Structure 1
Amino acid sequence: MQLVATELRAGNIILFNGQLHRVMNVVHVTPGNWRGMVQCKLRNLKSGNQTEHRFRSEDRIEKASLDTVEMQYMYSDPAGHHFMNTETYEQVTLADEALGDALGYLLPDAVISVDFYEGNPIGIELPTTVVLKVVDTEPVMKGATAAGGNKPAKLETGITVTVPMYIETGTRIIVDTRTGEYSSRA
């Protein structure tokens, strides 16, 4: 399937220079009296390298045809991250490069969507939000309110997010996986 460059969105998987790339960021630019351009940040799914590319607005880009399968995250080891198909119990392993930043939002037994291209797993689609437990943060100060500022908090998966001052260690919070920001208490 072909897309016009102006139809590109963050998260799309495209074929670019013969390799699969995930579109990380899209900005439509119209400089002065020139024609519009679409500037994209692309991540190569094989190597994990990020590049920026500028497409003309009328350029046609090949969108990869993906199959999506519901799978359960099982565990990680030096060989990779292991997922099991919830219907057939077939297991697949994904490398760190295929998961990218998504690793910080994965908990064992989480059911997520795994993308396959030509029968090979290439990445995952996270839910919009996840519930994670705060394992380390500064103690709550007396009188801290919702408008009282922010502080860093380490979550059970190892990532750090900025949370309001009233959040304590042990609190379960909702994190937006698209932005990596605190959303609310769970």
Structure 2
Amino acid sequence: MTAYSGNSLKSGVKILINNDPCEIQYSEFIKPGKGQAFVRIKFKQLLTGKLLSKTVKATDIFYSTDVIEINVVYLYTNKSIWVFMNNESFEHIYVSRKFLFGSEKWLTNLSKCKITLWNNSPIAVYIDNFVNLKVQDTDIVVKGDTVSSSNKLVTVETGTIIRVPLFIKKGDSIKIDTRNGKYISRVTN
């Protein structure tokens, strides 16, 4: 285990805070005119996905955690367990829905993902920030609808419903931002 002092915490470092694995998102070293130096950190709890802030002394000691990330491919789900395959060893990894943090809305067969393991147990699944999905179903647009709105709802191949411009039709591939679920563009092959 590597030890880090408070003033050596940088973005991306994975440490234990209150015996929970956390990833530092942001750190700011502050040396006031009077008193002891301190560090303001923002970190993500890897077990819950929560973003938290904390002020620590520059001399506080934190220990690294044995968190590793592996590349996987999504295979299937039985609604309570999501099954992924390790790209290197071809072993199956079973993940509970609570560790998907909403990414299940964008997963299709053979989607590439990253899984974070802590003590050889999956604690988080990460997908790309942008995915291309096919439109399965769409609302019918009637001439004159643009007066009230310039968007409509569509269902993509994963079953998720999103808002898109009126020109998108059934069978089109669209690019979606998975962080906020918004339409980005139409994808041409």
Fold conserved (TM > 0.5)? yes
Instruction: Tell me which amino acid in the other structure corresponds to 2:55.
Output: R
1:163 maps to a residue whose letter is V
- Give the whole-Å Cα distance in 2 for the aligned partners of 1:67 and 1:36: 26
Secondary structure of the 1:100 match is coil
Supply the distance in 2 between the matched residues of 1:37 and 1:88 (Cα, whole angstroms): 40
> In the alignment, residue 81 of structure 2 is paired with which amino acid?
G
* CA apart distance, 1:138: 1.5
Give the letter for the 1:56 counterpart: T
Who is 2:158 aligned against? Answer: 157
Do the aligned partners of residues 37 and 86 (structure 1) sit closer, same or farther apart at CA in structure 2, a change above 3 Å counting?
closer
Q: Is the 8 A contact 1:75 1:83 kept in 2?
A: yes
State yes or no: 1:171 paired with 2:164: no
Distance 1:93 1:177, change over 3 A: same
1:144 Cα deviation from its structure 2 partner:
7.7
Pair 1:185–1:19, CA change in 2 (3 A): same
| % identity of equivalent residues | 25
Q: For residue 55 of structure 1, what is the aligned residue in structure 2?
A: 54
The CA distance in 1 between the partners of 2:114 and 2:105, in whole Å, is: 16
Q: Name which of structure 1's ranges 167-176 and 52-61 shifts more when overlaid on structure 2.
A: 52-61
- Equivalent in the alignment of 1:106: 107
Please say which structure displays the higher CA radius of gyration. Answer: 2
CA 178–62 in structure 1, closer or farther in 2 if over 3 Å, else same: farther
Q: 1:157 to 1:97 in 2, by over 3 A?
A: same
- Deviation (angstroms), 1:107: 0.5
- What does residue range 28-107 of structure 1 map to in structure 2 within 5 Å? 45=47, 48=48, 53-56=52-55, 64-107=65-108
User: How much has 1:87 moved relative to structure 2?
Assistant: 2.3
Instruction: Structure 1: state its 5+ residue gaps.
Output: 29-34
Contact 2:46 2:123 in 1 (8 A): no
RMSD: 3.6
Residue 136 of structure 1: how far off its partner (Å): 2.6
Deviation at 1:110, TM superposition (A): 1.5
Contact 2:101 2:125 in 1 (8 A): no
Q: What is the aligned partner in structure 1 of residue 122 from structure 2?
A: 121
Do the aligned partners of 1:72 and 1:111 also contact (CA within 8 Å) in 2? yes
Q: Is the 8 A contact 1:5 1:58 kept in 2?
A: no
TM-score when scaled to structure 2?
0.69
CA distance in 2 between counterparts of 1:5 and 1:161 reads: 42
